[in-house]
Amino acid sequence: MKILDKYRIKANNINLFETAFTHTSYCNENKGTESYERLEFLGDKVLDFIVSEYLYKNEHIEEGEMTKIRAAHVCEDALYEYSLNCNFGEYLKLGKGEEITGGRCKKAILADVFEAFVGALYIDQGIEKAKEFVYSTVIDSIKKNEEIFNDYKSLLQELVQTNKKSLEYILVKESGPSHNKEFEVNVVVENIIYGKGIGKTKKEAEQMAAKDALNKRANV
């Protein structure tokens, strides 16, 4: 399978990956074959674990925010996009009726297949290889999505508002020539400095200060 070559996967059991692309409609027409449903069930759990572990280890944010980020990146729409990027539709085994009605492009099927592939990868290669694949697809998407993932100011603001405290960003220092300025900002909660940040713009410095406060797990 070309998809295995693309991700440098040497299958121990190629049948697992064949199954990961086998739709129930194909099984109905070809007795003795197994659909991807069981692998999909497993892949769903493996995917949740890998994404959850990544968020826990790399971003010191509240459980609620981690849940939102994970949900946004493992929902059906997101899984569908990952499958399209991997050209998973090309490898699907479909029944004649499903083929005619455009099964290779259906969102629900492609989303399921992505999870099934993760499940097959986990069984055949182990968790580390599964992580490599998920990191190259899902985690890469998380890293690129700055609006959801890197808005540290909003995350800090939400945390502070929950505790009904005041929050302020103070410009401490501005240095460098006009074409290459550097800004230093402190984030202050109830007159106490919780984080410091440096950036090429005031906005970037404020984001870095908020990130610093969150990384310290400040009791704000």
Active site residues: 44, 115
The whole-angstrom separation of Cα 177 and Cα 64 is: 42
Yes or no: say if 129 and 121 are a contact pair by the CB < 8 Å rule: yes
CB under 8 Å, gap of 24 or more: what pairs does 195-204 form?
196/172, 202/171
Closest CA to 156 of 197, 115, 106, 202: 197
The whole-angstrom separation of Cα 185 and Cα 189 is: 13
Yes or no: say if 38 and 112 are a contact pair by the CB < 8 Å rule: no
Phi, psi of 73 (to 5 degrees): -105, 0
DSSP reduced 3-state for 144: helix
